[in-house]
Amino acid sequence: MYDRTKGKAEKFSAEFGADVVEELPQVPRRSEIVVTVLSDDEAVKGVVSSMLGELKGKVLLDMSTIPPSLSVELAKEAKRAGGVMFDAPVVGTSIMAEQGKLVVLLGGPAEEMRRVSPVLERLAERVIHVGGNGMGLYAKIVNNLVLGIYVAALAEA
């Protein structure tokens, strides 16, 4: 495992026994599936770019909430590098995450889903494949819009 903040990686390693790598390109060298959960667009672009040379035959499962257009662009770059990318944003709260009750809105090639299903089944109660690359993120935008309307309606009530 790798974290851009070394202390976080060491803490996670101590708690869960995960091997820590020193450089990001080592992650896809040691894994068939790379899962990323990052804070913003620039972080995702930087991390994916630094792994592209090692993605041949690998799967990148990005669970970050980024613009769908960026995810589609990165998925094309991953494909040119010989890899496969999925956008897999989650719906749920931190409590739902702790209970394993998240919902993953999966965007990416249906024919490659079998490769990520075992990982996603461990992380979420439900996985919904909503279409090609970027579609998971579009679905999350719609979900957040409905949630925002609901909160506004409650506030008005």
Walk me through the domains of the chain, giving residue ranges and CATH numbers. 31-156 (3.40.50.720)
The pLDDT of residue 6 is 85
The pLDDT of residue 139 is 97
* Positions of the chain with pLDDT under 70: none
The pLDDT of residue 22 is 87
* 11 catalytically annotated: no
Please give the DSSP secondary-structure letter assigned to residue 111.
Answer: G
Q: What's the pLDDT tens digit per position in 31-70?
A: 999 999 999 999 999 999 999 999 999 999 999 999 999 9
Measured CA to CA in angstroms, residue 87 lies from 6, 43, 156 at distances of 25, 15, 35
**Active-site pick, 56, 58, 101, 140:** 140
The pLDDT of residue 4 is 83
The pLDDT of residue 126 is 95
